[in-house]
Structure 1
Amino acid sequence: MTLPGPIAPPARLLMGPGPISAYPSVLQSMSNALVGQYDPFMTNAMVETQQLYRGVWGTANDATLLVDGTSRAGIEAAMISLVRPGDRVLVPVFGRFGHLLAEIAERALAEVHTIEVPWGQVVPVSAVEEAIVRVKPHLVALVQGDTSTTMLQPLEEVGALCAKHGALFYSDATASLGGNAFEADAWGLDAATAGLQKCLGGPSGSAPITLSERAVDVIRSRKRVEAGIREAGDASADDFVRSNYFDLGQILDYWGPRRLNHHTEATSMLYAARECARLLLAEGREAVIARHRTAGDAMLAGVQGLGLTVFGDVAHKMTNVVAVEIPEGVPGDAARSAMLEDFGIEIGTSFGPLHGKVWRIGTMGYNARKDAVLTTLSALESVLHRFGASTPRGGGVEAAADVFRAAATASSSPVSP
């Protein structure tokens, strides 16, 4: 057997729906030395990370921490720890990841109810309220930003509806956190999870989570199976969390002051998650959201300047990703391959009802910046011309540059008293 050499990834500009190019300092943070999981440096880094993510989420929740694993690990931990078999879970669906929440709830043996709207729309708050009244759910699970459709579901009013009708409110903010407003406390979230690989500008592999006191009470009421012995004596089997790794009750004990052993923390991913949050708060939450908005507006103007049709309700689009319809006669996969092979730029395909119909182009995290947007639009124009599409020469770059120029002018203008 001939051993391969050291791994050497090619240079890529990741402008798809995620993962994206990580901030250089996040990658650098992962190369730091490992320490023991109970080393004072390590436990202090965990405490710092918790405090930083309270700022990211907009919460005072003590139970703010990381679940080791990709963003889906956070979703599964929340669902399996908050839901008992037979509990009613309501999932408003407006894209692929709503279907994912429903599937995970079903695997937790919940009684799952869904309401759906066509891809490219968001679910009206009135429809959510009607379903809550009708279903009487234990939990409402709602994606905030669904990259499959690029839509951003309004959450601001849902928490009050859930509180009024006695339901827990959970949101998957994997694709939206950091690049779009998210106010866990002000919006009445009981649980929210995310990942690093989108607007937070890190690698996939760590799932930030925040839990309200109400959610923690539900989690603490669940029983455990340890060393084959059921705690709490004659507790019903439905009381037991059906996972050890994703049992948030045990994970909370590990991150809490007792530091009860549950797993060995993924040290390098902790470093990465800490740096993602530190960078966001150092720049300022509102400033980061504004940067994503400007880059997203520029990309939107740019693809429209190339004559491309934007998919979905633009008024409810995420700041950080746009879906464009593939022009008639252009082979979508071949064009994406040309972007990658000739320019080192990755844009996204799609799936479900949009498979083969749209490209998804992201502007998030480290790549929510002017040079990344203009470079991508220039390459896309070249590829479109190669495959016979008629697009205005320089139309995309100029339209996007106008947005950046306008934003720069606005930011340098004196603020009115």
Structure 2
Amino acid sequence: MLDNAKYDQINPPSRLLMGPGPINADPRVLRAMASQLVGQYDPAMTGYMNEVMALYRGVFKTENPWTLLVDGTSRAGIEAVLLSVIRPGDKVLVPVFGRFGHLLCEIARRCRAEVHIIEAPWGEVFSPDQIEDAVKRVRPRVLLTVQGDTSTTMLQPLEQLGEICRRYDALFYTDATASLGGNALESDAWGLDAVSAGLQKCLGGPSGSAPVTLSARCEAVIRSRKCVEEGIRTAEHRDGDDEMIYSNYFDLGMIMDYWGPERLNHHTEATSMLFAARECARLLLEEGLDAAIERHKLHGGAMLAGIDAMGLEVFGDRRHRMNNVLGVVIPTGLDGEQVRQMMLNDFAIEIGTSFGPLKGKIWRIGTMGYNARKDCVMQTLSALEGVLNRLGFAGPRGAGLQAAWDHYQREQPS
């Protein structure tokens, strides 16, 4: 028998999430998630699905009809696109400048692609010429990019890559999980064929739904693929073995048939997450996409000013940092994890660590989504300064807050 004394009602501690994501969800998104469920083919439900498609066209800045949700975290969106587009043996090119470029490589290899990599030192990004040189040499069928890699806090410029991909007949994909809503992304104007994202960063929602947009070129590739249903292979399947999509759940062709006018049953839509995704997009477009990007730039700039004034070193090429995440080099002699634990335990503020070669070397501080606000920036700087002073870091006292105030006064004069 269940010991009820062990399992109280869920009541998580109050935290201010100022790491690289997830962040605190906007209360309006949480309220939308609390809405009652309706049937999967109720006209109200299919109406909401159509509204989600329309709203995310605005978020992605696209006219793509196939702009929809993949049920699952942002990685589900990545996997759905790659599994549905990459054929076994396809050459793909991945410019890797952080942890999530390596993730694209891993998933592409599971799709049995021939993966080609170019690498930049962590903290740097690629020039268009570097990517064009690699495209010219490799002649990939797909270019796989990450726009904003939170492991390094860098933002890869994408504006010129679509034209390069068109000239060399390559599909152009980007993972915009960490960047969408807080940094410029122009799906149509930049020639992107597929973009996937998540809710838990600049969009101000919880993890669990992956918005995706697909161009007509991408749709044609997906529609040309065959699925394998329940593991049964027909003669047709054997003849076209290289064209199979082996995943049922992540087969975007089937998901498109579910979201399209046919409404062919594929899965039971994650209704509460659809409500969350709809509210995230509605709030973003209500604010105005350009205004939201400027908000992220404002508060990210204030955090940067405060960190500089405290005598801390910022990681990476400042010209290419994301608006919404800042890498801070952990000072020599300080235990970075001790600082994080004191921030969490004494101030209820979470900041992030990093991965791979940066593990234990930088903190990652986010100012994104619902937490891209002045009060969140000021609380975080105040707490960080207090912890560092407590641990003997000899920075100028109070300088971080004053610099942030000065930044706000300059950028938002009353």
TM-score, scaled relative to structure 1: 0.97
Is the 8 Å Cα contact of residues 225 and 231 (structure 1) preserved in structure 2? no
Shift of 1:393: 1.2
Is structure 2 residue 107 aligned with structure 1 residue 101?
no
Measured in 2, the distance between the counterparts of 1:88 and 1:229 equals: 26
Q: How does 1:81-100 map to 2 (within 5 A)?
A: 81-100=84-103
Is the 8 Å Cα contact of residues 179 and 202 (structure 2) preserved in structure 1? yes
Q: How does 1:209-228 map to 2 (within 5 A)?
A: 209-227=212-230, 228=232
- Which position in structure 1 is the counterpart of 2:133? 130
Deviations 1:271-302 (A, max 9, x none): 00000000000000000000000000000001
User: Which amino acid in the other structure matches residue 406 of structure 1?
Assistant: R
Number of positions where the alignment pairs a residue of Structure 1 with one of Structure 2: 410
Note closer, same or farther for the CA distance 1:221–1:342 as it changes in structure 2 (3 Å cut): same
Measured in 2, the distance between the counterparts of 1:231 and 1:166 equals: 31
Measured in 2, the distance between the counterparts of 1:306 and 1:230 equals: 66
User: Which amino acid in the other structure matches residue 380 of structure 1?
Assistant: L
Measured in 2, the distance between the counterparts of 1:300 and 1:194 equals: 25
Structure 2 residues not aligned, in runs of 5+ = none
Measured in 2, the distance between the counterparts of 1:231 and 1:376 equals: 62
Is structure 2 residue 239 aligned with structure 1 residue 235?
yes
Measured in 2, the distance between the counterparts of 1:358 and 1:377 equals: 16
Q: How does 1:16-415 map to 2 (within 5 A)?
A: 16-227=19-230, 228=232, 230=234, 232=236, 235-409=239-413
Measured in 1, the distance between the counterparts of 2:237 and 2:410 equals: 66
- Which position in structure 2 is the counterpart of 1:2? 3
- Which position in structure 2 is the counterpart of 1:415? none
Note closer, same or farther for the CA distance 1:189–1:341 as it changes in structure 2 (3 Å cut): same
Measured in 2, the distance between the counterparts of 1:91 and 1:229 equals: 32
Measured in 1, the distance between the counterparts of 2:331 and 2:135 equals: 41
Shift of 1:125: 1.0
SS at match of 1:226: coil
Shift of 1:229: 5.1
Shift of 1:317: 0.2
SS at match of 1:312: coil
Is the 8 Å Cα contact of residues 237 and 244 (structure 2) preserved in structure 1? no
Measured in 2, the distance between the counterparts of 1:132 and 1:223 equals: 28
Measured in 1, the distance between the counterparts of 2:271 and 2:233 equals: 31
User: Which amino acid in the other structure matches residue 99 of structure 1?
Assistant: H
Is the 8 Å Cα contact of residues 113 and 135 (structure 1) preserved in structure 2? yes
Deviations 1:118-151 (A, max 9, x none): 0000011111000100000000000000000000
SS at match of 2:195: strand
Shift of 1:2: 1.4
- Structure 1 window deviating more from structure 2 (188-197 vs 230-239): it is 230-239
Measured in 2, the distance between the counterparts of 1:234 and 1:296 equals: 53
SS at match of 2:92: strand
Is the 8 Å Cα contact of residues 228 and 237 (structure 2) preserved in structure 1? no
Deviations 1:12-64 (A, max 9, x none): 00000000011010011100000011011100000000000000000000000
Deviations 1:351-393 (A, max 9, x none): 1111111000000000001000000000000000111101111
Is the 8 Å Cα contact of residues 224 and 231 (structure 1) preserved in structure 2? no
TM-score, scaled relative to structure 2: 0.98
Note closer, same or farther for the CA distance 1:233–1:9 as it changes in structure 2 (3 Å cut): closer
Note closer, same or farther for the CA distance 1:261–1:353 as it changes in structure 2 (3 Å cut): same
Measured in 2, the distance between the counterparts of 1:348 and 1:61 equals: 35
Shift of 1:235: 3.4
Deviations 1:98-124 (A, max 9, x none): 000011000000000000010000011
Note closer, same or farther for the CA distance 1:43–1:231 as it changes in structure 2 (3 Å cut): farther
Shift of 1:234: 5.2
User: Which amino acid in the other structure matches residue 140 of structure 1?
Assistant: L
- Provide the identity percentage: 64
- RMSD over aligned CA atoms reads 1.0
